[in-house]
Amino acid sequence: CTGGPVNTDMINLSIDQVYDLSVDVLSRNGFSAPHTAAIAQTITAGQRDDCQSHGLYRLIVCVRTLQTGLVDPAALPVVTHPTPAVVQVDAQRAYSLLAFQEGLPHLAEKAKKNGIAVLAINNCFHFSALWPEVEAIAALGLAGIAMTPSHSWVAPAGGTRPVFGTNPLAFAWPRPGAFPYVFDFATSMVARGEIELHRRTGKPIPEGWAIDKYGQPTTDAAAGMDGAMTTFGSYKGSALSTMIELLAGPLIGDWTSMQSQAYDAGAGATPLHGELLIALDPQLLGRGMLTANTAAAEAMLDAISGQGARLPSERRFKARAKSEQEGVWVSRALYDEVRKLGKS
């Protein structure tokens, strides 16, 4: 989700301006106040952290999806408690973010009672990066894992026809007095949003990201979107993506990416499916040695960064600090397109 270089075609916005613009676009287009706030917060966080594929650009996708009539802009999530360690939130075909907000306190409470807990979100349209959610879990002192399917855009390693979604996997580990350790990546070579941004700006994509509809490697973003994206790490990414389909799909009574794609039937809406989140409590699982365990974890993480290797999310945390000081840079073309969506 990395950003591009800053140049004269870009304009500077404060973080508050990004949030206000998001609220304006979402509310004018018909999202209810709670959904508007939840979506605007996540889009603002994405732009602030220089995650261009999941920042302001996603407003265009949200509005386009709303115009298909498929997403419910106001449905309230319904929370149930099937077991002491499981909270299930039915998003009722609205976007996922309000369902996550509703489910998070229950997830944390259950993890702190049981050592481990699961939040299953069902029936949600899902456009967002997963790091804000695992970071929120880590902020409560818990380790967090999140995963979700999407639309079947990605071919399995060794194949040429799309089966998997871009299926992100995110993990956060709470660290004393520091940002948590966080990774969050698509199990495809890149997020679909990244290829879409290349297509929109007419840039070629690097070799290896996608194949065309004849199964041939391509550097043409549109041809790659018509064909199939590839998994990262060959058969390893393919297997991880399969796991995500199973755990965040049939395991929790929800759709695979193929089912989401079939339901969409060419409408071009955000994918509709489930999301699985797992929280683990280091206090309860650590055999009473929290201080020693934390020290061991810190020593291991320091051994990574101590040799100059960068930790995932370091770029993002640096971007966050910079944005908080200087605001964010947005391409004028994107800004103009987004602003038009807010005009009634």
Site membership for ligand PYC, residue 218 (CB under 6 A):
no
Strand-pairing partners, residue 197, are none
Q: Is 53 in the site for ligand NDP (CB under 6 A)?
A: yes
Is 61 a binder of ligand NDP (CB under 6 A)?
A: no
> Residue 287 carries which DSSP code?
T
Closest approach, Cβ 192 to ligand NDP, in A, equals 6
Question: Out of ligand PYC, ligand NDP, none, which partner does residue 77 contact, by CB within 5 to 8 A per kind?
Answer: none
Where does this chain touch ligand NDP (CB under 6 A) — which range of 171-179, 184-192, 245-253, 277-285? 184-192
Q: Which string of x and - marks every residue 198-237 that binds ligand NDP (by CB under 6 A)?
A: ----------------------------------------
Does residue 193 interact with ligand PYC by CB under 6 A? yes
Which residue bears the tokens 């301006």? 17
| Residue 1 partner contact from ligand NDP, ligand PYC, none using kind-dependent CB cut-offs of 5 to 8 Å | ligand NDP
Q: Can you tell me which of 72, 90, 102, 194 binds ligand NDP, judged by CB under 6 A?
A: 194
Residues in 105-134 that interact with ligand PYC by CB under 6 A: 127
Buried b (16+ CB within 10 A) or exposed e, 276-310: bbbbbbbebebeeeeeeeeeebeeeeeeeeeeeee
Provide the token pair at 99.
């369902």
Among 20, 109, 220, 314, binds ligand NDP (CB under 6 A): 314
Main-chain dihedrals φ then ψ at residue 141, nearest 5 degrees:
85, 15
CA dist 234 and 135 (Å) reads 28
Cβ nearer to ligand NDP, comparing 150 with 256 = 150
Catalytic residue among 133, 135, 194, 275: 194
Residue listed under structure tokens 């509703």: 102
Q: State the pairing for strand pair 116-125/86-95.
A: parallel
Segment lying near ligand NDP (by CB under 6 A), choices 11-19, 166-174, 205-213, 278-286: 166-174
**DSSP secondary structure letter of residue 136:** H
- Write the burial class of residue 235 (CB in 10 Å: 0-12 exposed, 13-18 middle, 19+ buried): exposed
Q: Residues 68 to 107: which contact ligand PYC by CB under 6 A?
A: none
Among residues 259, 313, 323, 331, which is the contact residue for ligand NDP, using CB under 6 A? 313
274 binds ligand PYC (CB under 6 A): no
Among 55, 52, 28, 30, which Cα is nearest to 40's? 55
- Distance, in Å, from the CA atom of 246 to the CA atom of 138, rounded to the nearest integer, reads 25
- The correct pick among 35, 48, 192, 316 for binding ligand PYC (CB under 6 A) is 192
Amino acid at 320: R
Q: Shortest approach of ligand PYC to residue 167 CB, angstroms?
A: 8
Active site residue 207: no
Among positions 25, 37, 63, 130, the unique one binding ligand NDP when judged by CB under 6 A? 130
Tell me how far apart the alpha carbons of residues 214 and 143 are, in angstroms, rounded to a whole number.
Answer: 43
- Beta strand spans in 139-284 (E): 143-147, 168-173, 181-186, 210-211, 217-218, 228-229, 272-280
* 181 SS3 class: strand
Q: Which residues pair with 86 in a beta bridge?
A: 83, 118
271 binds ligand PYC (CB under 6 A): yes
From the list 129-137, 154-162, 277-285, 327-335, the region that binds ligand NDP by CB under 6 A is: 129-137
Q: Rounded to the nearest 10 degrees, how much is the dihedral formed by the CA atoms of 49, 199, 10, 39?
A: -40
Taking the C-alpha atoms of residue 332 and residue 152, their distance in angstroms, rounded to an integer, is 32
For 52, the token pair is 């261009």
Residue 186 binds ligand NDP (CB under 6 A): yes
Catalytic positions are 53-54, 194
- By CB under 6 A, name the binding residues for ligand PYC: 53, 127, 150, 166, 186, 191-193, 271
Q: Which spans of this chain sit near ligand NDP (rule: CB under 6 A)?
A: 1-2, 51, 53-54, 126-131, 148, 150, 166, 168, 170, 183-186, 190-191, 194, 310, 312-316
